[in-house]
Structure 1
């Protein structure tokens, strides 16, 4: 009887064990870990207006090579005309050969600048338009803007021939007709007529805006609109347009103070870095910074730019790209969304 009882208990135990095993077999599988959202790369858009001095072309291209950056150069086309050929340009309502920023110093300087443009384009940089004579177009009509754009295209396309520079590269005219897709107005002075003229002239983006802070560039009427943001600067974090000229006016009233160049460079760097950190540690909205080739306050703002770019453009989760690069990605994303891919 005791043997029978022992066997019964063993059977019951085995059955209970089997049920436990069966129960574990049908239990819910462990939930996979919640995926962690990957932050987008921080985009920085660095541009240069006028694009005149040859040494600054070389310096900016060297900066790009060591950091992997791509820049946008907004070219004033009067710098492709020498004193002998300046009459080839007449701005809206202006006499021929007049410009607010002068012209190239010589035919050789034009040749050197054309070579810099070709090298920059071959290295992946964006060549944009800064109009021609750097006139304030706030009162221009649509026809005036279209005339200015026509002058830009004609001077750029025929720059070698106009100045008697040879040989002209075989691909130059094709480049001149198709490569320039962006615009920034001199003095950032835009009006309604400009935005009517830009799409008609074949432009894909405009970078003449100013915004309260970094913002995602919208597409309106076929144009991507970029804006230089206001960024905090100085001990009181007072907002200033993120451009070297505006810092120059803030720091020294627009007059040279070379003895304070180091201090100004540090203030500018701190402003750039703080604006970057706010986005990098936040929503990662693209940050736009604007410069000129002019060495204001003994080059303080270029020194700040190089220090900044050397630190941040090399980060794995940062991209310093051109406006054209951004627009191409933006439009590729729209096309992909439209087909449901």
Structure 2
């Protein structure tokens, strides 16, 4: 008999789904308002928050609650090995790797996968963007188009069979999400130098946008090979305003050399928040180029960067001239503004 997702997860999911239904019209109005803004006034400031890996179930729920409180939609770049149990991992083989290998591991139990599937599905129902981060988190900068296509196919196949693999009855609409609703990709390690082979494979796999670039500051996306390409920006941070990629892991490495330091967690939180808020303020007061920030489902340095994120989202997302949206929601707004360019962005 099919097993059910845990009662607590479903209770939270129901509550958040109702909140999502309540805020959806406001988000739609936000997007329309940005697209149809009077040319004499500034467009809405877009803010795109994304998460790589999307595995820890507690952080799935924490991020969904954060979004619901603040009328925001996020983008989740999912790594598919977190939907593979010990049996499934034996069949997984990434390009040029031995079978059963993953740089980020696999799910630890079927129950963990069941709860994760519930979070993914209800996040989708709440209006968040479910996107791909491939599977085993390997650096694909030397991969061929065929290698990328193979990894994308594994991601698609894993999601197609995910509920059945853990003896759950899948919700109506899951197959449509997997086949037609996953629009974006971010390469592990931001391997934007993979270049044309990766882009060609993305196009064949049905992706419409890529978020693997790093840019010298907030920039508009560009179109390359039929794929809209976004980049996480370098933003000033710290006492000397040295540029750093707007992502929690990069801050973790700078602040504590990649070693967990809970004693200085509040200092790191404050530094991160100042960097995020300063980057936001510059665009908000200026040309209103979309601001992109990236995070992981790991609370580094005692949760410093998630707390800084919560402070930023709570501060800016309620403003009438700000829209905290997913990448998929941002694209039509940017296109309507006539800001989408046709040459590759500056990758670093």
Superposed pair shares fold, TM > 0.5: yes
Asked if 1:167 is matched to 2:169, the reply is yes
Report what 2:224 is aligned to: 220
Report what 1:205 is aligned to: 209
Report what 1:243 is aligned to: 247
Equivalent residues in 2 for 1:87-98, closer than 5 Å: 87-98=90-101
Q: Mind listing any 5+ residue stretches in structure 2 that lack a counterpart?
A: 1-37, 339-348
Structure-2 separation of matches of 1:171 and 1:96: 32
Asked if 1:37 is matched to 2:40, the reply is yes
Paired residues of 2:52 and 2:77 also in contact (CA < 8 A) = yes
Asked if 1:329 is matched to 2:333, the reply is yes
| CA drift at 1:189 | 1.0
The normalised TM-score by structure 2 is 0.84
Paired residues of 2:46 and 2:290 also in contact (CA < 8 A) = yes
RMSD: 1.4
Structure-2 separation of matches of 1:102 and 1:195: 26
Report what 2:140 is aligned to: 137
The normalised TM-score by structure 1 is 0.85
State which structure, 1 or 2, has the greater radius of gyration over its C-alpha atoms. 1
Structure-1 separation of matches of 2:185 and 2:332: 15
Paired residues of 2:114 and 2:166 also in contact (CA < 8 A) = no
Report what 2:187 is aligned to: 185
Structure-2 separation of matches of 1:285 and 1:36: 15
| CA drift at 1:328 | 3.5
Report what 1:5 is aligned to: none
Asked if 1:270 is matched to 2:246, the reply is no
Q: Which of residues 257, 260, 263 is equivalent to 1:259?
A: 263
Structure-1 separation of matches of 2:318 and 2:91: 43
Provide the secondary structure at the position in 2 that maps to 1:85.
Answer: helix
Q: Which has the higher contact order (CA 8 A, sep 6+)?
A: 2
Q: Mind listing any 5+ residue stretches in structure 1 that lack a counterpart?
A: 1-34, 335-341
Structure-1 separation of matches of 2:175 and 2:91: 18
Structure-1 separation of matches of 2:308 and 2:337: 34
Structure-2 separation of matches of 1:332 and 1:103: 41
Structure-2 separation of matches of 1:271 and 1:311: 14
Report what 2:107 is aligned to: 104
Structure-1 separation of matches of 2:97 and 2:144: 14
Report what 1:285 is aligned to: 289
Structure-2 separation of matches of 1:136 and 1:101: 12
| CA drift at 1:97 | 1.5
| CA drift at 1:168 | 1.9
Provide the secondary structure at the position in 2 that maps to 1:288.
Answer: strand
